[in-house]
Amino acid sequence: MKNWIRRYQIVILIGLGILAVAATYGFKEYNRKLPDTHQLKADFQIEAVDFVRQFEADGSSATTQYSDKVIDVQGFVSSVEVTDTSGTVFLNGGSSKSSVMCEFGQKTFQEIKELRIGERIIIKGVCTGYLMDVVMVRCVLTDKTSVFPELVFFAALF
Amino acid sequence: MKLFTFLISFIMITITTSSAQQRLLTRNGTVSFFSKTALETIEAHTQTAASVFDKQTGQIEFRVLIKSFEFEKALMHEHFNENYLESDKFPKSVFEGRIDDPLKVDFSHEGTYTQPVTGQLTIHGETKKITTPVIFVIQKTSVNAVAEFSILLADYKISIPGIVKDKISKSVNIRVKLKYETAPL
């Protein structure tokens, strides 16, 4: 028995090693959480008004293009709703009654408490489609005071 | 002539205002579901349900995007969308129903009423008739509707593969919370 183990000890060690790696990988994969949106790179950058317009013009095409994608949406705050554990920011959809609705979860809703109506902001989130508004989930605030580069240029002239 | 124009405008404004108040809506209702077995408890939530509620007829409709549900674990989120609910094929779940007896809810005063609501629930492309008690809470500037009911996964052709069958309950508990803002009472 002992001879057998001694002879194959390298094989056994390698086998145990592989099992340990597989088990660690399996455990990590099983417990993997959805990534923090702050860490994700945006697939698209879009104006809120344009975002709404695209869904209203051709909902199924816009859904195919944007669903499950990380989007940086820039727009004006039309309303903010905050509860004890979550928040929703609506970005103005222009002449449409619809908005871009951005859901902030338990870990990120504190970011939106200070937002004011009319403020221009950029929100990064994952688009899931369109109901009464364009729906974005797992949202984070990226830049509260963004202005277009052109405006900065003009401001610099004066 | 001026009086006539004024009267017509007055009547039209009254009609549109009262019908606007009659039809309530919310864009960020909460829908949660829970599956509990000896092996695991799985739950998911979303705050993105859209709903319209007609106080006069008692008709309620809500819609939710399946991809909006958030899970604690990424693997569960992926399996839920790709395999169980096939959210690319069936992106929405819809409920269209009506309070069985809308006259039993008095919307003109603050109060709490529990009334059965019956309607068609569509999940994964399958539609089934359900009846569930709904708690209506009438407050000064809002109407809250809360419902909790169970569904059988098999009824909606949601199949769970053998390997994880014991981790997911055959019946899933669903909780819906809708808050409609209203004009002050």
Question: Cβ B48–A81 below 8 Å, yes or no?
Answer: no
DSSP state of B185: -
Q: Residue B38 belongs to what domain range?
A: 30-181
For B26, name the nearest residue in chain A, comparing CA atoms only: A132
CB B153 within 8 A of CB B34: no
pLDDT in tens, A14-27: 999 999 999 999 99
Query: Does the residue B63 lie in any domain?
Result: yes
Percent of chain B's residues with pLDDT above 70: 95
pLDDT-derived band at A152 (thresholds 50, 70, 90) equals: very low
pLDDT in tens, A26-64: 999 988 999 999 999 999 999 999 999 999 999 999 999
**Residues of A in Cβ contact (< 8 Å) with B47:** 86, 88, 103
Report A:76-115 residues touching B (Cβ under 8 A): 81, 86, 88, 90, 101, 103, 105
Q: Give the ranges where A32-145 is alpha helix by DSSP (H).
A: 48-57, 59-66
**Residue among B9, B52, B46, B15 at smallest CA distance from B31:** B46
Question: How high is the mean pLDDT of chain A?
Answer: 88
**Residues of A in Cβ contact (< 8 Å) with B72:** 33
Which CATH architecture is the domain A37-143 placed in?
Beta Barrel (2.40)
The Cα A53–Cα A62 span in angstroms is 10
Q: Is the pLDDT of residue A147 over 50?
A: no
User: Which CATH number covers residue B112?
Assistant: 2.40.128.110
**Residue among B144, B100, B150, B145 at smallest CA distance from B121:** B150
- pLDDT, mean of residues B14-30: 78
Question: Cβ A128–B48 below 8 Å, yes or no?
Answer: yes
| Residue with token string 């809002």 | B142
Query: Does the residue B15 lie in any domain?
Result: no
ipTM of model: 0.84
Query: Does the residue B90 lie in any domain?
Result: yes
What are B's interface residues with A at a Cβ cutoff of 8 A?
Answer: 25, 27-28, 46-50, 63-65, 67-68, 70-75, 77, 91-92
* Count of domains forming chain B: 1
CB B42 within 8 A of CB B76: yes
What's the token pair of residue B97? 């129903």
CB A37 within 8 A of CB A139: yes
Which of A36, A97, A132 is most worth mutating to test chain B (most B CB atoms within 10 A of its CB)? A132
**Among the ranges given (A4-18, B5-19, B63-77, B128-142), the one the predictor scored with the smallest mean pLDDT:** B5-19
The Cα B45–Cα B6 span in angstroms is 50
Query: Does the residue B13 lie in any domain?
Result: no
Residue A43 is predicted with a pLDDT of: 96
Where is B8: in which H helix or E strand? helix B2-22
**Residues of B in Cβ contact (< 8 Å) with A88:** 27-28, 47
- Report the range out of A103-112, B6-15, B84-93 with the highest average pLDDT: B84-93
Q: How many CB atoms lie within 10 A of CB B50?
A: 22
Query: Does the residue B4 lie in any domain?
Result: no
What's the token pair of residue B133? 């008690």
End-to-end C-alpha distance for chain A, whole angstroms? 90
Query: Does the residue B124 lie in any domain?
Result: yes
pLDDT in tens, B111-168: 999 999 999 999 999 999 999 999 999 999 999 999 999 999 999 999 887 777 777 8
Query: Does the residue B16 lie in any domain?
Result: no
Collapsed DSSP state (helix, strand, coil) of residue A125: strand
- Which position has the higher pLDDT, B93 or B20? B93
The Cα B180–Cα A29 span in angstroms is 40
Question: Cβ B67–A88 below 8 Å, yes or no?
Answer: no
What's the token pair of residue B99? 């309070």
Query: Does the residue B118 lie in any domain?
Result: yes
- Which position has the higher pLDDT, A90 or A149? A90
Q: Is the pLDDT of residue A150 over 50?
A: no
Percent of chain A's residues with pLDDT above 90: 69
Q: Is the pLDDT of residue A138 over 70?
A: yes
Question: Cβ B92–A131 below 8 Å, yes or no?
Answer: yes
Q: Is the pLDDT of residue A99 over 50?
A: yes
